[in-house]
Structure 1
Amino acid sequence: MPEYLTPAVYVEETSFRSRSIEGVPTSTFGMAGVTEYGPVPVPAGTPPLTPVPTLVTSMTEYERAFGGLLVGGSHCQVALAARAFFANGGRRLYVSRVFSYTRTTGANPQIDEAANFASLQVPATGNNPLARWRARWPGSFGRQIRITVALRRSRNVLIGGQLVGVQPGAAVETAAAGAAVPRNATVPMPANVQIVARAADGRLGYRTATGVAFPPANASAWHLTLVVTVQAGDRVDAYSELELDPAHPRSVFNVLQRQDPPDEFALVWLDPGTATPGAGQLVTALLTPDTGVYLTGGGDGLTVTPADLIGAEADPDNIAEPATGLTALGEVEDIAIVAMPDTVGLSDGDQKTAVDGLLAHCQDLRYRMAIVDPPRDSSISQVREFRSKFDSKYGALYFPWVRIIDPTRRPDPGGPTPMVDVPPSGYVAGIYARSDIERGVHKAPANEVVLGIDRFVTNVTFDRQAVLNPEGINALRFFEGRANRVWGARTMSSDPEWKYVNVRRLFIYLEHSIDNSTQWAVFEPNNERLWASIRQTIEDFLLSVWQTGALMGNRPEEAYFVRCDRTTMTQNDLDNGRLICLIGVAPTYPAEFVIFRIGQWTADSQSS
């Protein structure tokens, strides 16, 4: 109890209510796979880049962070899945980019920067470059990056022998008094470019090798800034009012730096190199023609393997080795749905290995569900064979693939519409999210319209689904007048207790919510007061869940029970610091088979 040592009036706050449990989000999607460009751990360089999985909330954000729908001329499965996810109602997506680096040969292979990262030295010729433009992220996309650097001059900043309107570190071009301001396209003479510095007495002058020199009264000076335009395809990023001196906070080296630039999705960075050029040399070297210059080199690395997709754990003793691939998504607690669309590009054996890793990821973390894609061009027999290789209550398999109008090609008015087949995981994840947002996680994500597709690759009929459904293969079917729909809600488990996707995900939601919101109980006195508080907290939460229709029963007593007392704990449990709470809930199961029984009936006549 609090200490009362001095006579006084003590006002204390107390609580007369139970602690509340806040439901966790269930519609956040996570994907690991190959993208056109974007954040990926880069152990090479100083310091190494260690980005975490990136959150995007629209396809526009995805394209800015990770690029378009093609990678090296082929369709990007992750980008197509992201497009499908947002088109079907998804709102939050985490992406963990996977990249298999090309390495040097020898006893101690290192990342081959030239083979993975596009770059261009400044100036473009010569053996002693003053700086080097580099792509921030690996990939052949870097060769599409065009950089244009232009010069901007301000009005005269030298008035009465005093520099005004500039900060230390700014670059100015000096000239005789009354000189006209040159056109921006005019390249300054290197000897006329000076860097502003502050003297000990507070006055501004020009930096020299021995100190600060003050400008003459009868002279002119124009503030020089750079405008850097980075263009790649349809994307254009413009960075204006950039200074030249690295000491200036708005320096081109600081705004376009390698690690944590102001624009987190910047495509390039300016490597200052080892030389220390004068400001005049640097500005003349950085300026480009109006048509710009392209980066060269770089590549898409090696073909990814199941190990690349699954990734590796972070090294706790080495910050340069963060978690990668799917494993990196394990560090994001909000994710409730995961998929790896790139598994469809692997061989049969590698695809099974990758899917095993995906299911193990969900099983180890407990609070997420995997959406599994079937192999490309699978027949009914082949998808049944593929399904027979797995048994997990944390995964669901959907069949068949979907066919869409190819968004990467412009239709030819005189030819057939270009089409492309894509795996269904992105569409299904969007439907999961849409169903959760509109109805709740307890609603089976089935009998929902699949948006943004032309048709399914394989026509699953009533009789064909009679073979697929008992084996836990969820069919995607077309119904005349009712469009394309998800027509299955089963997991890949042989355990009948966890047959349905919505039951599994409801328990994930309940367990995760209770786990997050009862951490306050750890190290509290383990007595009847704590037990009663925990019982009340969980009962209040389950009551709100029951009121949404997620649980069975006409009364709360029929829907759930919570026990936390001497009947759930022994003295040995108490002596060893264990509090055991027993919770039982009655989930609602989907009406998978709706049966109406109709027969003839003759009413007997009755006299009044």
Structure 2
Amino acid sequence: MPEYLSPGVYVEEIQIGGKPVEGVSTSTAGFLGLTERGPTTPQFVTSWLDYQRLFGSYFGGSEYLPYAVQGFFDNGGQRAYIARIVKANATKATLRLQASSANALTLTAVGEGAWGNRIGVKVTAGSLSGFKLSLFYWKQSVTLFDPEDKPKTLPRPVVTEVYDNLSVDVASADFYEKRVNGISNLVVLNKLSGDNGKAPSASTIASLSGGSDTVETEGVAAAVTANTIKLAAEASSTDDVYNGMTITIINGDGLGQARKITDYVGSSKTATLETNWDAAALPTTASTYRITQALSYTLADYKRSDTNVPGKRKGLAGLAEIDDISIVYTPNATAITGLAEELITHCEGLKDRFAIFDAPVGSPAANLNPRSALETKYAAYYYPWLKVVDPDTGLLRIVPPGGHMAGIYARTDTERGVHKAPANETVRGAIDLEFQITKQEQDILNPRGVNVIRAFPGRGIRVWGARTLSSDPLWKYVNVRRLFNFLEESIDEGTQWVVFEPNDEKLWARVRRTITEFLTRVWRDGALMGTKPEEAFFVKVDRSTMTQDDIDNGRLVVLIGVAPVKPAEFVVFRIAQVSSGSEG
């Protein structure tokens, strides 16, 4: 109660009626997968260029996350969090800068992995004061050179960062931690144990080292036929050492081609490939190759339950603490044992997000029945894979459709609303499909919860399904499940002010009015059935929804009923012949 201790006029502000409930975002995606480089804690990106700045571009022969992220933004996505996956024992590359032969400062790559070994560092005197730090990153391993001194030497670094006039004085505006850390997309600069914290001396270019996550070997092709390649002297001469690894052409003819090695003969250093090189771009002795060991990633690498520190969590654990995410996607998740089930558990536990799954590549339509293993109302399943243009080669390649579908979810939410089924929408960026699906095949797949992507003459490639993986008829449509996610999360966040308020009739009336005003707005947007609000929803909070025991134990119980709109999945026109002048 306010105190009135002396005579006077008192003006007071009071609150009456309900408080507005703001609708939450429904189109922020969380992506989980392998990237070329970058940090391993989830990072927020708002465009494909933003992703490239932090995580690099396309890489390897079977890494789909870059294609998924580009497909997301091309199809209308605007906000995403990227959780980069690495092995739990992966390490960061480092380099000790020196001053007068003593360690001065330590450079550390922003994320784990062998990519950090391809960062070159050059230290010179600052233009005005302090020191100048130049950073260069190459996508492939090179014989180290200074790009500033050799501007015509190839290959050029794909990322260059320059920080001039850096200071070691904490009070200075040019203090190195203020100027570099959190701004550089390549390194973090710190004073570690054993460093004296002095300005480093000028030095020629050196590379970070010690980063590990993949096993890589590079060299120049010595002899090439349709399905074999003779490796350079750098390659090991041990028999079978490269069996099962992937060889990728990273420079010269055949750029971007990647093939799996099925057999390696150490005595002749000849690798046999699972399929032929593309005849139109056969590698030559001028081509540079990289052999990468295909690491076997497991469910533990995606969950990352070992990093249970707030703000430092990685993988799926990192996405779990980000409340803004409403769509979760991992390319080709069903290929990792247990990962699809873990994503379902993730969504069902948080109850504010929806998962997207891809059918396995090359799956015959008749064999698909995802509900048998992935029954849930919090996920949808899409088939077949898409053919898109590979920017590195200009050729078509097959990629999973989930990233493009997440973008279509976002586009539909923005243009129409979360209540609109994300179907009968054009898939932007898709040139062709892995398989052309017929109506007869979809007649089998649709009741099983498989959302088919089809090519229609004159109408392009479109999503032609909007079902969840639930067999419950109340939750069989994607838009219904996501609408309830939106309503529940919006009401949850918009009524936090109610906690610890006096639990009486006045509070009940305010809560009823708050939720009623929100649902009325949702109804006017076309998300609920009915010609008037009373037909679209009801809100009850009174003695009929809670007992005295509830009140005595601090519980306020509100009963809400809504009538969501359902998609017109089957449009039927019944046409009959009638006699002239007869009435229907």
Please give the TM-score of this superposition, normalised by the length of structure 1: 0.75
- The one-letter code matched in structure 1 to 2:83 is S
Cα distance between partner residues in 2 of 1:520 and 1:271 = 45
Answer yes or no: is the 8 Å Cα contact 1:543–1:556 preserved in 2: yes
Query: Kindly tell me: are residues 494 and 15 of structure 1, through their superposed partners in 2, closer, same or farther at Cα, counting changes over 3 Å?
Result: same
Q: 1:426 to 1:9 in 2, by over 3 A?
A: same
Give the distance between the partners of 2:304 and 2:53, measured in 1 at CA: 24
Q: Does 1:376 align with 2:361?
A: yes
Alignment partners' CA distance in 2, 1:591 and 1:475: 16
- Per the TM alignment, residue 364 of structure 1 is displaced from its structure 2 partner at its CA by 0.2
Alpha-carbon distance change, 344 to 241 in structure 1, aligned in 2, over 3 angstroms: farther
Q: How does 1:24-39 map to 2 (within 5 A)?
A: 24-39=24-39
Question: Which range moved further: 522-531 or 570-579?
Answer: 570-579
Partner of 2:132: 226
What is the identity, as a one-letter code, of the residue corresponding to 2:206? V
Aligned pairs for 1:150-165 within 5 A: 150-154=124-128
Whether the aligned pair in 2 keeps the contact of 1:149 and 1:229 (CA below 8 Å) is no
Question: Does the alignment pair 1:57 with 2:46?
Answer: yes
The alpha carbon displacement at 1:569 in A equals: 1.6
Provide the secondary structure at the position in 2 that maps to 1:361. Answer: helix
For the residues of structure 1 that align with 2:537 and 2:484, how far apart are their CA atoms? 13
Instruction: Tell me, yes or no, if the aligned pair for 2:537 and 2:563 is still in contact at 8 Å.
Output: yes
1:581 aligned to 2:568? no
CA 1:311/1:244 → structure 2, altered by over 3 Å: closer, same or farther? closer
Is 1:394 the equivalent of 2:394?
Answer: no
After TM superposition, the structure 1 = structure 2 runs for residues 5-44 of structure 1, keeping only pairs within 5 Å, are: 5-40=5-40
Counterpart residue number, 1:558: 535
Q: Which residue of 2 aligns with 1:138?
A: 112
CA contact (8 A) 1:77 1:422 kept: yes
The answer to whether the 8 Å contact 1:134/1:271 transfers is no
Q: Which amino acid aligns with 1:358?
A: L
CA contact (8 A) 2:105 2:196 kept: no
Task: Give the SS at the match of 1:74.
Answer: coil
SS in 1 for 2:368: helix
- How many angstroms does 1:300 deviate by? 2.0
1:118 equivalent in structure 2: 93
What amino acid is the match of 2:48? M
2:71 corresponds to: 84
Q: Which residue of 2 aligns with 1:218?
A: none
- Corresponding residue of 1:312: 305
TM-score, with structure 2 as normaliser:
0.78
The alignment partner of 2:445 has SS state of helix
| Contact 2:332/2:400 (<8 A) preserved | no
Q: Is 1:243–2:217 an aligned residue pair? A: no
Residue 441 of structure 1: CA displacement?
0.2
Specify whether residues 540 and 277 from structure 1 end up closer, same or farther in structure 2 by C-alpha distance, changes over 3 A only. Answer: closer
Q: Is the 8 A contact 1:38 1:265 kept in 2?
A: yes
Q: CA deviation at 1:65?
A: 1.2
Larger Rg: 1
Distance, in Å, in 2 between the alignment partners of 1:483 and 1:147 is: 49
- Does the CA contact (< 8 Å) of 2:366 and 2:444 recur in 1? no
Amino acid at match of 1:367: D
Cα distance change on mapping 1:335 and 1:434 into 2, 3 Å: same
1:225–1:244: 8 Å Cα contact kept in structure 2? no
Q: CA deviation at 1:345?
A: 4.7
Asked whether the 8 Å contact 1:132–1:273 carries over to 2, the reply is no
Matched, 1:364 2:364: no
Aligned-residue offset at 1:341: 1.2
3-state SS of the aligned residue for 1:449? coil
User: Matched residues in 2 for 1:246 and 1:555: separation?
Assistant: 64
CA contact (8 A) 2:182 2:188 kept: no
Measured after TM superposition, the shift of residue 18 of structure 1 is 1.8
Supply the distance in 1 between the matched residues of 2:197 and 2:565 (Cα, whole angstroms).
72
For residue 420 of structure 1, give the secondary structure of its aligned residue in structure 2: strand
1:440-519 superposed matches below 5 A? 440-519=417-496
Alpha-carbon distance change, 421 to 19 in structure 1, aligned in 2, over 3 angstroms: same
SS at match of 1:484: strand
Contact 2:377–2:468 at 8 Å: present in 1 too?
A: yes
Map of 1:147 onto structure 2: 121
2:523 equivalent to 1:546? yes
Cα 1:268–1:602 change in 2 (3 A) is same
State whether residues 147 and 231 of structure 1, in contact with CA within 8 Å, keep that contact through their aligned partners in structure 2. Answer: no
Secondary structure of 2:374's partner? coil
Write the distance in 2 (CA, Å) between the matches of 1:83 and 1:544.
34
**Structure-2 change in CA distance of 1:278 and 1:14 (3 Å):** closer
2:213 is matched with 300
Matches within 5 A, 1:344-355: 345-346=335-336, 350=337, 353-355=338-340
- The change in CA–CA distance for 1:344 and 1:496 in structure 2 (over 3 A counts) is closer
Q: How does 1:591-606 map to 2 (within 5 A)?
A: 591-604=568-581
The Cα offsets for residues 32-86 of structure 1, whole Å up to 9 and x where unpaired, read as 222222222xxxxxxxxxx4x211000111111112121xx33432221111100
Q: Does 1:96 align with 2:80?
A: no
d(CA) in 2 for partners of 1:536 and 1:79? Answer: 46
The Cα shift of 1:240 comes to 1.4
Given that residues 369 and 394 in structure 1 are in contact (C-alpha distance below 8 angstroms), is that contact kept between their aligned partners in structure 2? yes
* Displacement after TM superposition at 1:238 (Å): 1.5
Paired residues of 1:147 and 1:229 also in contact (CA < 8 A): yes
Q: Is the 8 A contact 2:38 2:55 kept in 1?
A: yes
User: For residue 303 of structure 1, what is the amino acid of its counterpart?
Assistant: S
Is structure 2 residue 254 aligned with structure 1 residue 341?
no
Q: Name structure 1 gaps, 5 residues minimum.
A: 41-50, 103-110, 155-222, 412-417
Task: Tell me the residue number matched to 1:48.
Answer: none
Q: Which amino acid aligns with 2:401?
A: P
Three-state SS of the structure 1 residue aligned to 2:551 is: helix
Query: What amino acid is the match of 1:366?
Result: K
Paired residue type of 1:401 = W
SS in 1 for 2:68: helix
- Per the alignment, in what secondary structure is the counterpart of residue 373 of structure 2? coil
Change (3 A) 1:598 1:237: same
Q: Give deviations 1:380-435, integer Å, cap 9, x for gaps.
A: 13322x442111000000111111111232x4xxxxxx222111110000000000
Give the C-alpha shift of residue 16 in structure 1: 4.0
Q: Deviations over 1:520-551 (max 9, x none)?
A: 11111111111111111111111111111111
Name the CA distance, whole Å, in 2 between partners of 1:37 and 1:448.
33
Residue 389 (structure 2) pairs with residue 405 (structure 1): yes
Task: State the identity %.
Answer: 44
CA distance in 2, matches of 1:432, 1:277: 50
Equivalent-residue separation in structure 2 for 1:362 and 1:272 (angstroms): 40
1:136–1:269: 8 Å Cα contact kept in structure 2? no
The aligned length equals 485
Equivalent-residue separation in structure 2 for 1:549 and 1:246 (angstroms) = 57
Cα distance in 2, alignment partners of residues 539 and 294 from structure 1:
62
SS of the equivalent of 1:274 reads: coil
Give 1:273 deviation, angstroms. Answer: 6.3
